Structure 1
Amino acid sequence: MGLTSSILKRLPITPAIIYLAVGILVGPTVLGVLHFNPLKDSALLEVLTEVVVLISLFSAGVKMPVPFSLVRWRTPILLATVSMAISVGMVAAFAYYALGLPLGAGVLLGAIVAPTDPVLATDVQSRHLGDRDQLRFTLTCEAGMNDGSAFPFVMLGMGLLGLHEIGDYGLQWILVDMLWATLSGVVIGVVAGVALARLGWRLRELHKHDLMDDFLGLGLIGVVYGLSLLVHAWGFLAVFFAAVALRQTELKLANNTKYSRDSRSLQEISRTELNPNPDLEAPPTVSAGSLVFKEQLERLSEVMLILLIGGTLFHNSWSWRAISLALFLFVVARPLSVLIGLAGTRTPWRIRGMTGWFGVRGIGSLYYLMYAIQHGLPEPLALDLIQLTLIVVTLSIVVHGISVKPLMSRFWRRNKQISTP
């Protein structure tokens, strides 16, 4: 992959498809050299997917445009809440009536496959700091939030299966799993991100300290996620908003000192007339310094986990039940949930259409599934959900991976034509 990266960029497929093909080749489907059992090794896979998602959420958070605007964030917030709930409900109904699963299992399955993935959707997400493309911002921000907003539905499904306490009439689920865990996660993330940004800025500006940004980024992830677990908050949401707050605060501190207020990255600001000294390099920040390292970890993790996915598939994994679920999710549930969630907004219809199609499923779905297995999901039901989820993720890698480059190229060409007078 390293030697042929320039060639692969010109191919109409994503690298994930190549990783998957290699995994299937060495897996039980073809050569049988590798066989990974997700049920037997669910504890290991839970930790691996958990770490990868956390790193990806941090990378997504620091790419969010500055300054924060509630008007601009309205669309991804609706996608991560309203559209998420609708998608979970539609998949649950399909699983209950068409696949014959119990209601609790249907809700759990909906929560597993509904969230879009921040790991495998890099081709449709923000590419760099200061990326202001509306479509990429929407998909990146949604993926960053809905990996946390799906957790209440995971707990609801487990509660309906008797694996989690949801209280009378679901009151405990509403108060604890929805309200407390969500709000406290956001607060923890914002406070920690702002605190690290101000501390790092003060040490650099006043005390002239050199900081190890890579370790600070990893440390922020660890501290925020650990605190979230201690207070029963959703750690995925906390890490994403910690990264957002870190970047937002660092840019504000920079703009309040030597730079004009701007929403671009410090590197862009430093090369324009807004910088009073053209020879002055933009000051280092934790968010920018740690992003490159996090993206490398994310790529290596993507290779490993997709190879493992290929190594789990057998010939008999491809059932009509699993394929029909994937088709229902891609063609019906995701597009309809996006259209309903964004009804009444001013989001352009072309962006709604692209958002409705590119709901990539991946590593986050595997984590939720392993989480449920580790918390007592019965083995027969676990095996069924493993087969359904793996096929959904595999088909998402293939279908979305084949369509992403031609559709995005056409979208950007069309945008350029519209913007040209």
Structure 2
Amino acid sequence: MPGSLLLSFAVLLLIGMLISERASRTVISTAVLFLLGGFLLGDGVLDVIPLASGDPVVETLAELALFSVLFTDGMKVGFRDLRTAWHLPGRALLLGLPLTLVITAALAHFVVGLPWLESFLLGAVLAPTDPVFASAIVGREEVPPRLRHLLNVESGVNDGLALPIVLVLLAAAGGTEAGGWQLTEEILLGIAVGVLVPLVVLRLERLPFLKAQDNLQPLLTVSMGLLVLAICTATHANLFLAAFAAGITVASYGPEFRHEFEQFGELLTELLKLAAILVFGALITPAFLFQEIPLAGWVFAVLALTAARPLALWVSFLRSGLPRNQQVAAMWFGPKGFASVVYGILVLESGIGAADELFHLIALVIFLSILAHSSTDVVVAKKLDERESRPL
């Protein structure tokens, strides 16, 4: 990591932590801080962080961050969790996610004029959500439990569901060397590695003469993740699906490790996320936003924020019994999934013909989304709290 990037990250992290308590009660957000920090420190403004799209640190950091996100996301959704409370998240994932993808693709085709293949790739990249950016919603007990559970499970699963679609569409567009059976092999091998490695480690840990010390149990979970990452790197298995499968396997067959790893894992993932957001912001210049994106791109971005997910979830929640104000809150908090940040970088690095145009649109949607959603999460949480506390 270049010295200027490391110094910038350290300073922004210190500022973010010092204002975090106040930020939790206001519209200030650490995600916004790092995004704007990257934007201001990048090329075109202060030129402190000299990064370009082809810089190895961009792709490496993005891959590590997404691996960590998918691993920790998988641990939020063990098989038991999915069986016991699947009603609303199932609607959002099995109906809402595909509809969001299709509506976003239609907007890209008819508003921007992209070909259908690239439009669906754009829709797949922007479909996942990540309410970790809206922590005031999923982290406050005042918010109705059904809504918190819905957003938690949805965000934990939709990155993994969207990933195979992104990979297949990217391969179809010529963005990967793997195609057809080779891509299928990489995906299946990744899932197999993600399932088998944790199962073997958990079985070993339960042997009478092998036992992790209590205070070191989080590191045992980290070692599983690192082993999965190393094996996938050596065998060219898909490391993202391996990470997601490994997280689900740990949650399902070693729930005590999920509990021990939870705080440590969230902090590690948050660090990598913020670093990736800083890099993402540094790739966005004033010229990028205001000269290189046409008016149609801005219209698409606004519609992607205000129409695609709201319309998809409105259909998904018909006759669900979820109160209207909670439906609206769930509809609003998208499409700024962190996975979309990394998928956007992967598209940019893929070298497909429309890579630059797609990245511009992805970056604009996420840029506006982080600004809009991360600055309204506290307001929406307070409104929900007031509504729930209102006497009947």
- TM exceeds 0.5? yes
Alpha-carbon distance in structure 1 between the residues aligned to 2:189 and 2:317? 26
Q: Which letter maps to 1:290?
A: F
1:230: Cα distance to partner? 8.3
1:166: Cα distance to partner? 11
Alpha-carbon distance in structure 1 between the residues aligned to 2:316 and 2:193? 27
CA contact (8 A) 2:107 2:304 kept: no
1:127: Cα distance to partner? 7.6
Residues 208-227 of structure 1 aligned to structure 2 (within 5 Å): 209-210=212-213, 212-224=216-228
The 1:207/1:109 distance shift into structure 2, 3 A limit, reads closer
Q: Which letter maps to 2:99?
A: I
Work out which of the residue numbers 102, 119, 125 in structure 2 matches 1:89. 102
Q: Which letter maps to 1:357?
A: W
CA contact (8 A) 1:119 1:298 kept: no
> Are residues 1:353 and 2:328 paired?
yes
Which residue of 1 is the match for residue 358 of structure 2? Answer: 385
Alpha-carbon distance in structure 2 between the residues aligned to 1:344 and 1:73? 16
Work out which of the residue numbers 90, 93, 104 in structure 2 matches 1:80. 93
Alpha-carbon distance in structure 2 between the residues aligned to 1:347 and 1:393? 27
CA contact (8 A) 1:19 1:307 kept: yes
Which residue of 2 is the match for residue 408 of structure 1? Answer: 381
Alpha-carbon displacement from aligned partner over 1:361-419 (angstroms, at most 9, x marks no partner):
143113223333444412xx2221221111111111100011101101221332344xx
Which residue of 2 is the match for residue 140 of structure 1? Answer: 152
What is the number of residues matched between the two proteins? 371
Instruction: Indicate the SS of the match to 1:120.
Output: helix
Which residue of 2 is the match for residue 11 of structure 1? Answer: 26
Alpha-carbon displacement from aligned partner over 1:36-86 (angstroms, at most 9, x marks no partner):
222x22x53233122212222333343458953525124323423332222
Tell me the TM-score normalized by structure 1. 0.74
Structure 2 gap segments, 5+ residues each:
1-14
> Are residues 1:293 and 2:264 paired?
yes
Tell me the TM-score normalized by structure 2. 0.79
Work out which of the residue numbers 48, 56, 70 in structure 1 matches 2:69. 56
Which residue of 2 is the match for residue 157 of structure 1? Answer: 169
1:351: Cα distance to partner? 3.0
Alpha-carbon distance in structure 1 between the residues aligned to 2:203 and 2:135? 30
CA contact (8 A) 1:112 1:154 kept: yes
> Are residues 1:103 and 2:116 paired?
yes
CA contact (8 A) 1:361 1:397 kept: yes
For the aligned residues, what is the CA RMSD?
A: 3.6
Instruction: Indicate the SS of the match to 2:18.
Output: coil
Alpha-carbon distance in structure 2 between the residues aligned to 1:184 and 1:416? 50
1:33: Cα distance to partner? 2.5
The 1:294/1:368 distance shift into structure 2, 3 A limit, reads same
Work out which of the residue numbers 348, 367, 379 in structure 1 matches 2:342. 367
Q: Which letter maps to 2:151?
A: L
CA contact (8 A) 1:13 1:405 kept: no
Q: Which letter maps to 2:213?
A: D
CA contact (8 A) 1:57 1:118 kept: no
The 1:126/1:226 distance shift into structure 2, 3 A limit, reads farther
> Are residues 1:70 and 2:83 paired?
yes
Identity %: 28
Alpha-carbon distance in structure 1 between the residues aligned to 2:18 and 2:346? 37
Please say which of residues 326-335 and 21-30 is displaced more in the overlay: 21-30
Q: Which letter maps to 2:297?
A: A
Alpha-carbon distance in structure 2 between the residues aligned to 1:26 and 1:152? 34
CA contact (8 A) 2:100 2:127 kept: yes
Q: Which letter maps to 2:244?
A: F
Alpha-carbon distance in structure 2 between the residues aligned to 1:225 and 1:74? 33
CA contact (8 A) 2:42 2:282 kept: yes
Q: Which letter maps to 1:81?
A: L
CA contact (8 A) 2:348 2:359 kept: no
Larger radius of gyration: 1
Alpha-carbon distance in structure 1 between the residues aligned to 2:146 and 2:241? 21
Q: Which letter maps to 1:222?
A: L
Which residue of 1 is the match for residue 40 of structure 2? Answer: 25
1:336: Cα distance to partner? 1.2
Work out which of the residue numbers 47, 53, 59 in structure 1 matches 2:60. 47
Higher helix share: 2
Alpha-carbon distance in structure 1 between the residues aligned to 2:197 and 2:147? 28
Which residue of 1 is the match for residue 281 of structure 2? Answer: 310
Alpha-carbon distance in structure 1 between the residues aligned to 2:94 and 2:178? 20
Alpha-carbon distance in structure 2 between the residues aligned to 1:356 and 1:336? 8
Alpha-carbon displacement from aligned partner over 1:190-213 (angstroms, at most 9, x marks no partner):
55555544543x25x775552632
Please say which of residues 154-163 and 382-391 is displaced more in the overlay: 154-163
CA contact (8 A) 2:111 2:299 kept: no
